[in-house]
Each structure stands twice: as C-alpha cells, then as structure tokens.
Structure 1
C-alpha cells in the first residue's frame, strides 16, 4: 500500500515537473519571439494590410476584366485592348496612383499630429491636382494612335487600342479621385469601407461589362466604358460615405478655399511620388520592349511578359505592407514619436520577408502550373522554369524595397526616393540588363538579372537613407498656417 502511494506521489511530481518545464519552454519561446518581432505591432500591421490588399486587387481587376471581355470578341480586339490597357497603366493609372502618394505624408502626419481639419483640405487639394493632370493625360490619350504607330506598333492594333482608350478617359478622372480618397481613409486607419467600396463596384462591373459588350450595340467599346462606369460608381460611393459618415466629423468639414492654398505644398510631394511609381513601372515595360528586339523575340517577349505579370501580382500582395509602413510611419512621426516610427518600419520589413518567402515557396513548387495558365507551349513552360530562380530573387527584393518606398512616402522623402529610383533603375539596372542580354547573349535571363541589380541597388540605397537620415526634423509650410506641420 505504501509502495503504491509512493508510486502515485512520484508520478504526480514527475507530471508537475513536466508541466512546469513545458510552461517554461513556452514562456521562453514567447520571450524569444517577442525579441525577434514586436508581436502586437505585427498583429496590427497584418490586420491593416489585408483590407489594402483586397482593395488594390479589386481596382486592378476592374480594368483587367474589361480587357478579358473585349478579348473574347476576337484576336484583334484582344491585342488592341491589351495594348490600350498597358498604355493606359503606364501613362495614366500609375501616374494617378503616384500623385495620391503626397497624401500619405500630409494626411498621415496630420492625423498623427491631431490636425484633423487639415486632412479634408489636403484631400481637396489633391483632387484639384488629380483633375488638372487627368485633363493633360486625356489630351495625350486622344493622340494614342499616332503615338503607338510612331513607337512601331501595328497600325490596325494601334487604331483599335486608340478606340478602346478613348472610352477609358472618364474612368481616369474617377480613378484619380478614388486613389485620393483611399489615402484619406488609409491614413486614418479606416479600413472596412475600403473593402466594401472596392469589392462591390468590382462585382457590379462584371454585370455592367457583360451587358454592354453582349447586349448592346457598343460591343468592343462597351468594355472600356464599363470600366469607366464602375470606377465612377466607386468614387461616388466613397464620396457619399465621406460626406455623411460620423467618422469624418473632424477630418471633413466641407469644401474650403484653403485647399487651393495647399496645392503647391501638395505638389512638392505628389509629383516626386508620381515619379517614384512611374520610373519603376517604366523600367518593367522597357524589359518587354527590349525582349522584342531579340532574335527569338516571340519566345523572349512571352517569357518577360509572364515574369512581369507574375511580379506585378506578387507586388499587389506586398503592396498592402507598403501602405501599412507608410501609414504607421507617418502617423507616428506626426505624433512626434520617431522611435516608434522606426520600430514600425522594422516590423514591416520582417513581415515583408516572411510574406515574400511564402510567395516564393508557392511559386517554387508550382511554377509549371502557373506557367501553364499563361501558355500551353511546353517550350515556354520549360523556359519559364529556368527563369523561376531569378524571379524568386526579384520578388523577395521587391517586397523588401516596397516597404522602404512606403517608409519614404510616409516620411516625406518622395523627391529623394525618386532620384534613387532614377539612378538605380536607369543607370545601374537597365545598362546591366542590356549588356547581359545582348552582349553576352543571355537574352531573357540577362534582362532579369539586370532588373535584380536595379532592385537590389534601390533597396540598399533606400535602407541606407532610412537608417542614416534624421526622422525628427520639422518643417513648417509657408502656404498655410502652422496647422500644416510636416515632418521631413
């Protein structure tokens, strides 16, 4: 009996000791993980980035869906719509997205500094700027056909693309306004409406595009018109929400003439921000043009186009972290907490690496399936497999630099970052790409290695700027009173 009691006591002691050890191991693991990553900040950033990803993908899908509907009408219509969408993105939509980047500094830091009234004024000034540049871009779009012919594009395809893009002009204005409102909401961490007012218009767009293309006499032109209608639906939905929602009682006090006085302040940030975005977009488009000059141009162009599209889709996911970094950094700087801003940047960089690794693993094991969605040619699928290692490297670096670009926008370093993009892409990346592709005859691989060199240089310089530049300097705007405080 005593031996049985002794056995039970020893067993109980052993189980207690094991429980303590497990609890100690768990506490030790949690302590180590908190040292590696600020868990609370990471959780906040993940919850912030998810709605941004959904919103960005939805607005990207509106124009892509229109191209798909147009493409089902014939090969000429597909070629014309694809060329028009590419031209519209490079010359219009990317520029409008970049212009709204000024608000990431102005509204982000204004909200952190509790200068709530200024957010609505900055939003109005940004819409004035977007409207002005939309008019200029619209004039350019009216001359799409002669410009494309001048760029050695097929005459018939250029004519079809010009017809398509004319019906996208109304959508350009709405797209610019939407991007501004997105930044206005984003910098205040108002996220749920971003999802609703992007997903719902996207869902409506499917029906509108189908009806205009198949049930009316518009046919081909119904596809771009549907995109314009859907973008205006989204803008009007956002506008009604901003005008009447209680969340904006402090940040939206109605229209004000003060917005005109802030235009110059806004331009100093929005134009460099637009340059940041466009310089990067144009670098990718140059790769496609270079591929068309190679001996086996059809194969190389297909490969580079597949890689560019894959990189763009991956970046749409990581762009959510870029906007998160921009918002967190600008809010903390506006509140006068540069140390917290740096901590937010560090957390976002760690999350970007984790996210990039997840995308890389999926692509590494599923690259053949992914390539088959673009082409049924075994040659292209095999060649894409040989490009995959280089693509994985570029996606990882692009994710890292995307966060640093967001930090630059949140800190008001747009002009400096634009010069960085110019130097790294066009004086380092592109020359190396041309040299490897044409001189050393590496062709598509050479082009992508050059891009990797450009991305690596860009990420390295932006990281150096983020680590060395002072984050606490304050500049006061001369155009408006001291409420327009900006951290630079």
Structure 2
C-alpha cells in the first residue's frame, strides 16, 4: 500500500463520469488537486521562507522610496527631478548591484549544499570586491548625471535637479552593493527571519533622518538623498554585526581572507550575466520615464510616469521575494508569481 506522499501532485485529469461528459475535470477533482498542493510540507516551508524575504525587500526599497517622497513634496520641479533621478539611479546603479549579487545565489548555494561552509565567506568577500570596483565606476557616471541626461534630451532644469540629487546619493551605491551581497550570503543559509528585523529598524530610523534633514536643516532637497545614503550604510553595519556575532554564521564567516582575490574572476563569470539580466528587466520599465521627459510639460509627465513605475517596482519586490524560494522547487510559488501580476493588472 503506497502512502499519500508518494502520489504525484500533477495527476491526469479525470473526465466527467457518465452523466457529465465533455472532457472537463470535475470541480471536486480540481479542489482535491489544490488541497494536495496546499497540504504539502514543502509548500509550507516555501511560504515561511518567502514571506520574510518579501518584507525585507519592501523595507529596503522603502528607504529609497521614502527619500523620493520627502524630496518630491517640496515643489513640482523637485518632484520631477527626484523621480527622474530615482529612475536613473535604478537603471545605472541599484539594478546593476542587485544583479551582481546574484552570483552568490549560485556560489554560496553550492558551497552550503556541499557543506563547504568556509567558502561562503570567501565568495562573499570576492563579491564585495567586485561590487566595490563597479561602484566606483557608477559613482563617476552619477557625478556627471546632468550632461548625460541633457544628452538624452531631458529638460535642462529637471536634469540639473536630478544631478544634484544623484551627487548626494553616491555614497549610497557603495552601501547598496555590500547590502545585496550580505543578503544573498544569508539567504543561501536560510537565514531570513532576522533580516526582517534588520530591515525594519533602518527603515524606521530613515523616516526620522529624512524628515530631520529635509525640514530641520539648511540641506532641504539635498537632505533626502543624503538620508538614504546614511540609512543604507546603517543597514550594512547592522548586517555586518549580525554576520560577525551570530552563531549561525560561525562556520561560514571566519574573517577577512586574501584568498578571496583568487575567486574574483569566478564571481565575475556569473555576476556579469546576472547583472545584465536584471538590468534589462528594470530598463524595460524605467525607459518610460526617459521617454516621458521628451514630451511637452515634462515636469508633469516625468513625475506621473515615474510614480507609476515606482508602484510597479513595489509589486516587483513582492514577486522578487517569492522567487527566493524557487531554489527549493515549488509549484505553489510558480503559481503565486504568475497570479499576483495578473491580479495587479486586472484591478
């Protein structure tokens, strides 16, 4: 007698019996199929794994979005400039850093599965070196944001405002690269619940920092991106302290090692294709903001399109968190990842 757990989830659909016909599976049969999916122990594990990652991604993205909101409330030109700057920062920096960290999902995942725990820390250091190098290149590009945006036929005043925002956000790109690497390092060890707390705290602190710098100091508009940079570095320090002090990382993190330099090219072979893939996904939406800047009344159109794209990015963070559970292999996660965008589009 075989147990229920040995039965496959995807079974051939039964046709309606004598009186039904028509070749359609019965409602009872469909409900039974979904009941088996939802009752699977693996599905429950994936939900418990993915929900903390959804919250973590939302809170870290909320740091950047909150700064945009604080700066955008000052006046219409600032709103257009900050939304254009946020889109430019995403397509040239944040998306690229997220993609680069994708190499750790493979390298650290293999090391953790093979119980070569020490190699996880080595790969983390190699990835941070790669992120540091590209952060320097990106910071140079961000410093010359104004002429680049004007070259792309954006409004001169909006480009000037966006460039000012970008200059104060430059320290944040270094922190964001390290942040994404540490997140992948911990995710591959199934350490996810502490990440929720470590993302909520800097997000809440960021609200206070941003409000204080924008409204209580002479910085004003410049205070919003500076607050984002400060909060991102605060997030990195909190994660670094956790990795150093947590007993769950004692085998995977043994301190800084020069051995990591020998793994840089190994990391690059996976990081660059991953970065290209993520950037193309982001560019498909963020290019709409640049196109809006070519229209008449660009202050209004740029702001409106950018706010739509930011709303879409929030929805993307949800599915991005769900995708973190995909390494376990899940029919349920695949269904939810497909269903959520369809529901968002419908409503």
For this structure pair, what is the TM-score category when the shorter chain's length is used for normalisation? 0.7 to 0.9
Asked if the contact 1:37/1:350 (under 8 Å) is kept, the reply is no
Q: Which residue of 2 aligns with 1:221?
A: 222
**How far is 1:159 from its partner?**
1.4
TM-score (norm 2): 0.85
Q: Which residue of 2 aligns with 1:103?
A: 104
Find out whether 1:364 has 2:346 as its counterpart.
yes
- Seen in structure 2, the aligned counterparts of structure 1 residues 211 and 120 have a Cα distance that, compared at 3 Å, is same
Distance 2:298 2:214 in 1: 33
Distance 2:304 2:225 in 1: 27
Distance 1:151 1:319 in 2: 30
- Seen in structure 2, the aligned counterparts of structure 1 residues 320 and 293 have a Cα distance that, compared at 3 Å, is same
Distance 1:38 1:350 in 2: 15
TM-score (norm 1): 0.61
RCO higher in structure (CA 8 A, sep ≥6) = 2
Task: Give runs of aligned pairs for residues 288-437 of structure 1, distance below 5 A.
Answer: 288-290=289-291, 308-326=309-327, 328=328, 344-356=329-341, 359-360=343-344, 364-365=346-347
Asked if the contact 1:107/1:187 (under 8 Å) is kept, the reply is yes
Q: Which residue of 1 aligns with 2:184?
A: 183
CA root-mean-square deviation? 2.5
1:308-352 Cα distance to aligned partner (Å, 9 max, x none): 3443222211111111114x3xxxxxxxxxxxxxxx144431332
**How far is 1:51 from its partner?**
0.8
Unaligned stretches of 5+ residues in structure 2: 1-28
Find out whether 1:143 has 2:144 as its counterpart.
yes
**How far is 1:307 from its partner?**
5.2
Asked if the contact 2:101/2:181 (under 8 Å) is kept, the reply is yes
Q: Which residue of 2 aligns with 1:61?
A: 62
Q: Which residue of 2 aligns with 1:370?
A: none
Q: Which moved more, 1:188-197 or 1:35-44?
A: 35-44
1:213-260 Cα distance to aligned partner (Å, 9 max, x none): 111111111111100000011000000110111111110011111100
Q: Which residue of 2 aligns with 1:43?
A: 44
- Seen in structure 2, the aligned counterparts of structure 1 residues 354 and 278 have a Cα distance that, compared at 3 Å, is closer
1:341-380 Cα distance to aligned partner (Å, 9 max, x none): xxx14443133235445x34xx635xxxxxxxxxxxxxxx
Distance 1:80 1:323 in 2: 33
Q: Which residue of 1 aligns with 2:133?
A: 132
Unaligned stretches of 5+ residues in structure 1: 1-27, 329-343, 366-488
**How far is 1:144 from its partner?**
0.6
Larger radius of gyration: 1
1:186-232 Cα distance to aligned partner (Å, 9 max, x none): 11110122111111100000000111111111111111110000001
- Seen in structure 2, the aligned counterparts of structure 1 residues 294 and 108 have a Cα distance that, compared at 3 Å, is same
1:256-279 Cα distance to aligned partner (Å, 9 max, x none): 111000100000001111000001
Q: Which residue of 1 aligns with 2:247?
A: 246
Asked if the contact 1:107/1:119 (under 8 Å) is kept, the reply is yes
Asked if the contact 1:212/1:223 (under 8 Å) is kept, the reply is yes
**How far is 1:138 from its partner?**
0.5
Asked if the contact 2:95/2:282 (under 8 Å) is kept, the reply is yes
Q: Which residue of 1 aligns with 2:18?
A: none
Asked if the contact 2:50/2:322 (under 8 Å) is kept, the reply is yes
